[in-house]
């Protein structure tokens, strides 16, 4: 079922239009609003459908189509905000796809058994276990950094993930897999920067150019060493 | 370590700024009526953000009141001739007030344990009964905060080299606080809290790095600072974290307060960073100027 049809909006609707449509429909079909409705069951069914449609559209738009539930790794790291949300919801869904091609490569190379184990854990979504195996290894090859980057990302450590991926790329600059991982990990920050340009925080804005009177009311605060009273 | 999640005032529309203030004052008065005057002073911008976020997401019915405020006796000066504060109170204020109180209580206990501040202990004792009630009402959040404090102490004591370890712990606690109830918005809220918690911890570390270097306290940014790449690296890391936070935010169907929330998320959160970076920048330049002067004198 086309989620856009459920919400009654076109495919090129803006995010805000979708949110508005969702709000209107969910208010209309909300169980509380249909207590005395003879078609109560139908309204409830519609309510669920609207919710699903909204979820699906937002996942597609914000996370490029990977779904919430993809990260089977959630169980391994407890609830793991990063592991759970980012692994599943957060757009690194493609990593699970790397298992197939990885297995083929593995048979050809004489990769240490620990790296194979770590890769298997990653494929199963057990990022913490993968990280445990990796951290016990002394020999750190580019492949090691690559796997550590994926495991860190799955655990919600984006900063470590990026640094590991960069190290892998530095060690083997020609490896497309490493390079694409780096740019994928960088993409969140780039996306954010583009968006924040519209909110008075352009990339070119220097450190001092921003007016710092933001210490709203309440008290005198010393910004830049000078007491600025902003009551 | 709180107060980084605030608005960028000059970039905000006047009506939105009024609204933001009304939310701030509304939350403050709810805290006051529930926990008394002292607890009001512990209100911070981060909790006001949570209040705005929940109110926007759950579209609560708003109640507006105008009230004179003890804590802002000079409000006459800044706000024309108006002597009363506009306050917006919704159901979400109660949750934010309770969370603010729980965090304040643990902060007091922490001050007692770490620095043996007797006053903190006395105040905490006074609030003990209230806290007990709250921990029964919000067991999930209570557990998360207690666990956080325990693990953070351990991590800081061990001097963990992992840049994201302590920040991640803060994120995990914040994630639980951001989830008010287990509904269909649990995941995006959890994610927002996780990234913001990380952001707050690292922003605080970024602010305090010189101080921590001289006192020997734990700071995950020490190495980057010594290498002289801190500002550049930190800016990228903060952007990465805010990217994660905002992706989750944009997935939420928030229309009300959206302009204010976006002002905070895309701009206001950087004010603290630019203050510190500017301070460091000037300190570095100032030193140069001074050496040059000294050179001339010779």
* Beta-carbon separation of A157 and B247 below 8 A: no
A167/A164 Cα distance (integer angstroms): 5
- Residue A229, token pair as written in the block: 């009273």
Could you tell me the CA-to-CA distances from B174 to A176, B100, B114, B148, B169 in Å, in that order? 37, 12, 22, 9, 9
- The answer to whether residue B292 scores a pLDDT higher than 70 is no
Q: What is the pLDDT of residue B285?
A: 83
**Residue B192 burial (C-beta neighbours within 10 Å; 0-12, 13-18, 19+):** buried
- The answer to whether residue A56 scores a pLDDT higher than 50 is yes
* Beta-carbon separation of B163 and A68 below 8 A: no
- Residue A79, token pair as written in the block: 């609830």
Q: What is the pLDDT of residues B179-200, one digit of tens each?
A: 999 988 999 999 999 999 999 9
Identify which of B112, B116, B111, B28 has the alpha carbon closest to the alpha carbon of residue B72. Answer: B28
- The answer to whether residue A68 scores a pLDDT higher than 80 is no
Q: What is the pLDDT of residues A78-133, one digit of tens each?
A: 333 333 334 333 333 334 334 334 444 554 467 889 999 999 999 999 999 999 99
Chain B CB contacts of A16 below 8 Å:
255, 258
Q: What is the pLDDT of residue B121?
A: 82
SS3 label, residue B126: helix
Phi, psi of A205 (to 5 degrees): -70, 120
Q: Least CB-CB distance to A15: which of B71, B250, B279? A: B250
Note whether B233 contacts A: Cβ–Cβ < 8 A.
no
Phi, psi of B114 (to 5 degrees): -80, -50
Identify which of B172, B183, B112 has the alpha carbon closest to the alpha carbon of residue B146. Answer: B172
Q: Determine which of B80, B206, B233, B275 to mutate to test the interface with A (most A C-beta atoms within 10 Å).
A: B275
Q: What is the pLDDT of residues B159-184, one digit of tens each?
A: 888 999 999 999 999 999 999 999 88
A82/A41 Cα distance (integer angstroms): 37
- The answer to whether residue B109 scores a pLDDT higher than 90 is no
- The answer to whether residue B123 scores a pLDDT higher than 70 is yes
- Which is more confidently placed, B75 or B179? B179
**Residue B25 burial (C-beta neighbours within 10 Å; 0-12, 13-18, 19+):** buried
Percent of chain B with pLDDT over 90: 69
- Which is more confidently placed, B86 or A215? B86
* Beta-carbon separation of B266 and A195 below 8 A: yes
Q: Which residue of A has its CA nearest to B25?
A: A218
- The answer to whether residue B74 scores a pLDDT higher than 60 is no
Beta-sheet pairing, B85-89 with B63-67 = antiparallel
Q: What is the pLDDT of residues A219-228, one digit of tens each?
A: 333 333 233 2
Note whether B47 contacts A: Cβ–Cβ < 8 A.
no
Percent of chain A with pLDDT over 90: 48
Q: What is the pLDDT of residue A85?
A: 37
pLDDT-based confidence at B290, cuts 50/70/90?
low
Hey, what domains does chain B have and what are their CATH numbers? Answer: 9-75+84-279 (1.10.600.10)
- The answer to whether residue B125 scores a pLDDT higher than 50 is yes
Q: What is the pLDDT of residue B235?
A: 95
Percent of chain B with pLDDT over 70: 91
Q: What is the pLDDT of residue B7?
A: 93
Q: What is the pLDDT of residues A123-138, one digit of tens each?
A: 999 999 999 999 999 9
Rounded to two decimals, the pTM is 0.84
- The answer to whether residue A173 scores a pLDDT higher than 90 is yes
């Amino acid at each position: 079922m086309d989620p856009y049809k459920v919400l009654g909006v076109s495919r090129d609707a803006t995010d805000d239009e979708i949110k508005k449509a969702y709000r209107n429909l969910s208010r209309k079909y909300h169980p509380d609003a249909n207590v005395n409705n003879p078609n109560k069951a139908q309204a409830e069914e519609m309510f669920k459908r609207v919710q699903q449609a909204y979820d699906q559209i937002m996942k597609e738009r914000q996370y490029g189509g990977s779904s919430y539930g993809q990260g089977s790794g959630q169980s391994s790291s407890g609830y793991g905000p990063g592991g759970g949300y980012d692994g599943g919801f957060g757009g690194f869904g493609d990593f699970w796809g790397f298992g197939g091609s990885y297995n083929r490569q593995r048979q050809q190379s004489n990769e240490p058994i620990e790296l194979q184990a770590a890769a298997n854990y990653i494929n199963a979504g057990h990022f913490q276990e993968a990280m445990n195996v990796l951290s016990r290894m002394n020999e750190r090859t580019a492949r090691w950094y690559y796997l550590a980057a994926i495991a860190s990302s799955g655990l919600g450590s984006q900063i470590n993930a990026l640094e590991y991926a960069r190290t892998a790329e530095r060690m083997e600059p020609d490896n497309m897999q490493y390079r694409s991982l780096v740019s994928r990990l960088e993409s969140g920050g780039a996306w954010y920067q583009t968006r924040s340009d519209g909110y008075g925080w352009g990339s070119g804005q220097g450190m001092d150019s921003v007016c710092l009177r933001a210490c709203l009311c309440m008290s005198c605060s010393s910004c830049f060493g000078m007491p600025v009273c902003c009551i | 370590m709180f107060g980084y999640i605030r608005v960028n005032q000059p970039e905000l529309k006047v009506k939105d700024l009024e609204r933001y203030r009304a939310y701030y004052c509304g939350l403050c008065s709810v805290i006051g009526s529930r926990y008394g005057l002292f607890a009001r002073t512990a209100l911070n911008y981060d909790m006001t953000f949570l209040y705005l976020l929940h109110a926007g997401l759950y579209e609560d019915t708003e109640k507006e009141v105008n009230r004179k405020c003890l804590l802002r006796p000079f409000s006459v000066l800044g706000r024309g001739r108006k002597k009363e504060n506009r306050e917006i109170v919704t159901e979400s204020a109660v949750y934010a007030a309770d969370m603010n109180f729980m965090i304040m209580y643990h902060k007091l206990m922490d001050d007692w344990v770490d620095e043996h501040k007797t006053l903190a202990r006395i105040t905490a004792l006074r609030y003990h009964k209230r806290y007990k009630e709250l921990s029964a009402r919000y067991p999930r959040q209570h557990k998360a905060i207690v666990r956080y404090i325990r693990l953070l102490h351990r991590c800081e004591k061990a001097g963990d080299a992992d840049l994201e370890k302590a920040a991640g712990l803060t994120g995990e606690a914040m994630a639980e606080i951001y989830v008010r109830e287990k509904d269909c918005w649990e995941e995006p809220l959890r994610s927002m809290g996780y990234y913001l918690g990380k952001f707050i911890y690292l922003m605080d570390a970024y602010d305090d790095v010189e101080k921590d270097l001289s006192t020997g306290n734990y700071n995950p940014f020490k190495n980057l600072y010594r290498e002289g790449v801190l500002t550049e690296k930190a800016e990228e890391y903060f952007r990465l974290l805010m990217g994660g936070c905002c992706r989750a935010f944009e997935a939420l169907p928030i229309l009300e307060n959206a302009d204010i929330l976006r002002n905070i998320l895309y701009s206001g959160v950087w004010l603290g960073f630019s203050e510190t970076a500017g301070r460091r920048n000037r300190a570095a330049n100032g030193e140069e100027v001074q050496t040059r002067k000294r050179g001339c004198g010779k």
